[in-house]
Structure 1
Amino acid sequence: MRELLPHLARHWEAGEPTALATVVQTWHSAPQQPGAALLVGPDGVYGSVSGGCVEGAVYELAQDVLTDGIPQLARYGVTDNEAFDVGLTCGGVLDVFVERIDAGTFPSLTSVVGSVHSLEPIAIATVIRHPEPDRIGQRLVLDSSSTLGSLGSSRTDRAVTEDGRGLLAHGRSSVLHYGPDGERLGAGMDVFLRSFAPPPRMIVVGAIDFAAAAARMGKFLGYRVTVCDARPLFATQARFPDADDVVVDWPHRYIAAERDAGRVDYRTVLIVLTHDEKFDTPLLRMVLGDDWGDHRPAYIGAMGSRRTHHKRVANLREAGLGSHEITRLRSPIGLNLGSRTPEETAVSIAAEIIAAQCGGDGQSLSSTTGSIHPTQT
């Protein structure tokens, strides 16, 4: 959805209505996650809700919504009567909410776009199901301290604001269920909360050629990429044009300062490419230790040969780390793809990061059975 905002804002500012289709819930092996979106505008279609399986049907529904302005919640998948026409060939089921976007239906869009551009967390809560049709499509925009708009009652606004800020803090998008007037134990009203959290960070330590390839891959995957090295001769923006930030500092000192400032969290990935113990040991001793707290990066990997790995482990043991702490380290870094070039190695590292985050095992799908995508319940 983030990549659709410039198109959405451009049409909004020009006074051109668009239809926004959003995946709000999925079951089984659906190809997209909640929050995936497709935008239908006067100049074409952007984005995707299913990777191609039901785009045609969603487009037709979007045309109806553009015409009459009435939001629609539709379910697609193998359980539909029209499964052979618009069903998901992958076997999944998804709910898609389609709404008309213009200055009248979404007056606070510019606030959302501005916050996303400034990397400030913000969320949009939209009523997608309600026994009163007029309540469907009502919207509340919220951040950590303020709100814009309303979902139709103060009680509903209070409940959704409280629950929504909890989801926003973790960068999650989800459907929330309430009674018609926001009763927490009730049923009848569904609200989709779409979070726009700042992009997760990839911190690459070591200003080498492999770091340049890793930075390119990180940007492709949607990370905000920082390259850090204590050597000013090598840590330059010219050498790493794909990085958002190039920092000249001792890595352990820089990471500690970022942690203390709240800019390292459970979504951060740390890639250590220096394979130089004067840089590696103090950094890894700090981030792997039990005293790091709740802000430990989700992935910590270090490059090096098997010999370098064994030497690194010995250094970490001498520095006071135990076996359970050292097992948090992915070393040697990456999956066994047979990679040799910096670009191939970056793919190997990215593959391991994705597998670690999504619960994959790195096997060839042709040699496995069962669901391809993570099962949604």
Structure 2
Amino acid sequence: MREILPALGEWYAAGSPFALATVVAVSRSAPRGPGAAMAVGPGDEVVGSVSGGCVEGAVFELAQEVLESGEARSATFGYSDDDAFAVGLTCGGEITLLVRRVTTAEDLSFGRVVATVGAGQPVTVATVTDGPGRRGATLAVWPDEARGTPGTLGTLGTAGLDAAVAADARGELAQGVTATRHYGPHGERREDAVTVFLHSFAPPPRMLVFGAIDYAAAVARIGDFLGYRVTVCDARPVFATPKRFPATVEVVVDWPHRYLRGTATDDRTVVCVLTHDPKFDVPLLEEALRRPAAYIGTMGSRRTHEDRARRLREAGLGTAELSRLRSPVGLDLGARTPEEVAVSVAAEIVALRWGGSGVPLTATTGVIHPPAPPG
């Protein structure tokens, strides 16, 4: 949903009601994960997607019904070969959607949620998807109260339910997890009453690119496209100039290891080292391999890698730390140009994130879209 929030924010600010369809559950080879969204707004304008095209027509009709009635609806779409003209997913998976109407009167928190996400700050939106009470009711939850603003806005129906959901939402938000939880009508830990979808909008993950060469520009562009908050760092000001990179990319002139030492990383952070110069690489990788990161890749030939690994062992890094290093960087695509290399690097990052094999799908069996790993 993050990519369509600017458009939704404009509709909301203009006082234009819209219907928001959100994927709240998936199974098997579903094309989009929980949180994917499509909205129908003024003039029947459509933004977003919930299935990549399989069921959008049916969702559009359902959204129009919800806009007219104001009553939130749920719908499940799956694969069926019983009727050649049935609306369903061609991939064999199943998705469950919640469609609700959003207006300034019915959802007081939406504008603040849009502003929070736009500022790169965390927030979770909890929505009742099933059970007795107010299907479609929402509670926006921020990490805590700040500068006189409340830590929650909205209600799911009862104070007890709001309190229990807010506590769980903050825990999931800290991990960047979107999930479904079940409660009793007053927040009891039960499985048989109210189903609540917790949609976490954690800040975008970081991509740190070191070495402001032409390959870095291509990697920065594809990182930005994938939704990372990208920073390019180089100690050489003649190369580290903003005009060489997309406007959304931060460019820093500093020694790489010094910059990284002062920068927070977490288990979603991607580090791409493209300098292939020992005076930059070794102290930088000493720092990177001893801190949290999802991916640490370095550019260079196999001979360069062996020399780099020797220097790092001499600096005191052990086998476990060196095993985290993806070097040479990227998958074997036969890439030559900076843009092709960037695709190779992105492919490896995506495969590592989701547990992909990196081999052609024609050579595999089973589901195409595996479930997300836990946490």
Q: Tell me by how many angstroms 1:108 deviates.
A: 1.6
- Whether 2:33 is the aligned partner of 1:33: answer yes
1:9 aligned partner: 9
Q: State the one-letter code of the partner of 1:168.
A: L
Change in CA separation of 1:81 and 1:4 when aligned onto 2, cut-off 3 Å: farther
Q: Tell me by how many angstroms 1:202 deviates.
A: 0.7
Q: State the one-letter code of the partner of 1:303.
A: M
Q: CA RMSD in A?
A: 1.6
2:306 aligned partner: 310
- CA offsets per residue over residues 125-148 of structure 1, 9 Å max, x none? 11111223xx11211111111111
Report if aligned partners of 1:18, 1:101 keep a CA contact under 8 Å in 2. yes
Change in CA separation of 1:6 and 1:40 when aligned onto 2, cut-off 3 Å: same
Report if aligned partners of 1:29, 1:376 keep a CA contact under 8 Å in 2. no
Report if aligned partners of 2:108, 2:153 keep a CA contact under 8 Å in 1. no
Indicate the larger mover: 239-248 or 48-57: 239-248
Uncovered stretches (5+) of structure 1, i.e. residues with no partner: none
Q: Tell me by how many angstroms 1:245 deviates.
A: 0.7
Q: Tell me by how many angstroms 1:78 deviates.
A: 2.7
1:207 aligned partner: 212
Uncovered stretches (5+) of structure 2, i.e. residues with no partner: 145-150
TM-score for both structures, normalised by structure 1: 0.94
Q: Tell me by how many angstroms 1:244 deviates.
A: 2.1
SS, match of residue 98 in structure 1: strand
Report if aligned partners of 2:107, 2:154 keep a CA contact under 8 Å in 1. no
SS, match of residue 306 in structure 2: helix
Q: State the one-letter code of the partner of 1:223.
A: Y
- CA offsets per residue over residues 301-334 of structure 1, 9 Å max, x none? 0000011011011111111111121010000000
Aligned pairs, how many? 366
Q: State the one-letter code of the partner of 1:305.
A: S
1:46 aligned partner: 47
SS, match of residue 6 in structure 1: helix
Indicate the larger mover: 80-89 or 343-352: 80-89
2:330 aligned partner: 334
Report if aligned partners of 1:203, 1:226 keep a CA contact under 8 Å in 2. yes
- CA offsets per residue over residues 102-133 of structure 1, 9 Å max, x none? 1111122111111111111011111111223x
Q: State the one-letter code of the partner of 1:308.
A: T
2:167 aligned partner: 162
- Whether 2:245 is the aligned partner of 1:240: answer yes
Q: Residue 297 of structure 1: which of 279, 293, 299 is its match?
A: 293
- Whether 2:171 is the aligned partner of 1:138: answer no
Whole-angstrom CA distance in 2 between matches of 1:108 and 1:162: 18
Instruction: Name the % identity.
Output: 57
Whole-angstrom CA distance in 1 between matches of 2:111 and 2:322: 46
Whole-angstrom CA distance in 1 between matches of 2:88 and 2:321: 47
SS, match of residue 238 in structure 1: helix
Report if aligned partners of 1:180, 1:186 keep a CA contact under 8 Å in 2. no
Indicate the larger mover: 273-282 or 174-183: 174-183
Report if aligned partners of 2:13, 2:111 keep a CA contact under 8 Å in 1. no
Report if aligned partners of 1:20, 1:40 keep a CA contact under 8 Å in 2. yes
Q: Residue 318 of structure 2: which of 296, 300, 322 is its match?
A: 322
- CA offsets per residue over residues 67-124 of structure 1, 9 Å max, x none? 1000001111037987851121100011100000111111221111111111110111
Aligned pairs for 1:248-267 within 5 A: 248-259=253-264, 264-267=265-268
Whole-angstrom CA distance in 2 between matches of 1:375 and 1:139: 26
SS, match of residue 194 in structure 1: strand
- Whether 2:188 is the aligned partner of 1:183: answer yes
TM-score for both structures, normalised by structure 2: 0.94
2:358 aligned partner: 362
Change in CA separation of 1:330 and 1:29 when aligned onto 2, cut-off 3 Å: same
Report if aligned partners of 1:128, 1:192 keep a CA contact under 8 Å in 2. yes
1:113 aligned partner: 114
SS, match of residue 86 in structure 1: coil
2:277 aligned partner: 276
Report if aligned partners of 2:128, 2:195 keep a CA contact under 8 Å in 1. yes
SS, match of residue 152 in structure 1: coil
